[in-house]
Amino acid sequence: MTHSAVRLAAIRDTPLDIDEVVKALDDDSSGGLTLFVGRVRDHDGGKGVTGLTYDAHPSALQRLEDVCARVAEEFGVNAVAAVHRVGDLGIGDVAVVVAAASGHRGEAFTASRALIDTLKAEVPIWKHQRFADGTEEWVGAP
């Protein structure tokens, strides 16, 4: 990891463990820990979603680590974590977990929001959605 506050940054093809993320941020100096869990929903853009696949560019993990380090530095939090899943996911599966821990809740909330927003904007992970009507689309692909 590039920054001591980055406690966990990973891209995995196995189910994500929310408890692992929370435990990675455990420390006695943090009074607030915020957690965002992104799940596969059953709809998008007015269409029913039947499932999806996430693919990651080979540089995605390094980019994720860089994003985590930048967010930790910018918001001065004690710890951050981000884990994204790749591969085939079904409705309700956990796709991404991000968290931030800080002395106070405000910084933790702000950093968590920045972490998920920056991850989605900058880390090269692409979503291939399959719809109930037989169509499909790529989201976020170049």
CA 102 to the chain's CA centroid = 18
Question: How does pLDDT run along the chain (142 residues), one tens digit per residue?
Answer: 457 999 999 999 999 999 999 999 998 999 999 999 999 999 999 999 999 999 999 999 999 999 999 999 999 999 999 999 999 999 999 999 999 999 999 999 999 999 999 999 999 999 999 999 999 999 887 7
Q: What is the pLDDT of residue 1?
A: 45
Q: Which domains does the chain have, with CATH numbers?
A: 6-135 (3.90.1170.40)
Q: What is the pLDDT of residue 2?
A: 55
Which tokens go with 86?
């790749």
Place of tokens 């994720």: 64
**Which alpha helices (H) appear in 6-89, and where do they start and end?**
18-24, 60-75
- Can you tell me the distance from the alpha carbon of 68 to that of 87, in angstroms, rounded to the nearest whole number? 22
The total of other beta-carbon atoms located within 10 Å of residue 78's CB is 23
